Amino acid sequence: MSKPDYTIEQEAHAQGYLRVAGVDEVGRGPLAGPVTAAAVVLDPAQIPVGLNDSKKLTAKKRQALLEQLLERADISVAHATVEEIDQHNILRASHIAMVRALEGLKVPPDFALIDGNMIPRGLSLPSRAVVKGDALSLSIAAASIAAKIRRDQVMWDLAQQFPGYGWETNAGYPTKAHTDALRNLGVTPHHRRSFKPVHNILYQE
């Protein structure tokens, strides 16, 4: 199985873009919590070995890679809130988080590689959408790792305040334990009211 490489970034470099940011988000599917995006600009001379789509790595490997990235790359992580998800929609909210992540980089990038098939609305930066980007681009793979670890931390913290929903292990995704708790314990302020399972509980006849 092929692993992500630096080809797409090199194509951007060849066009004169020096600082190329990979951008990915995590948390579009959960019933609770924010949607989280990361932007990462790698140093081509010191890319950590083993970078891959976060879903293909163990938690231990992800953490080890993030520690290397924090030393060698420019990383920014940002969120869109539950309120923003409900106000707009999950796609638009994930794009808001992506733009925020790009704006949070220490040095502004010249070009952005966006995971998916859409460029976020309002992004003025030259950019390219890359379908399945976390499996193709090392920068996007790095962003997927940073976003997942940060969002998992957020959900672990929320789980301490709202025990019983299993967020420390399910990260807000609709597991059986989570949906059972939603019915038995009710809806928290961190649940996405626009998502059908939550909406149905709130407005059941």
Asked if residue 25 belongs to a known ligand binding site, the reply is yes
Asked if residue 115 belongs to a known ligand binding site, the reply is yes
Asked if residue 24 belongs to a known ligand binding site, the reply is yes
Q: What is the DSSP string of the chain?
A: ----BSHHHHHHHHTT--SEEEEEEE-SS-SBS-EEEEEEE--TTSPPTT---GGGS-HHHHHHHHHHHHHHSEEEEEEE-HHHHHHS-HHHHHHHHHHHHHHTSSS--SEEEEESS-PPTT--S-EEEETTGGGTBHHHHHHHHHHHHHHHHHHHHHHHHSTTS-HHHHTT---HHHHHHHHHH---TTB-TTSHHHHHHHT--
Binding site as annotated, residues: 24-25, 115
Residues making up the annotated binding site for a divalent metal cation are 24-25, 115
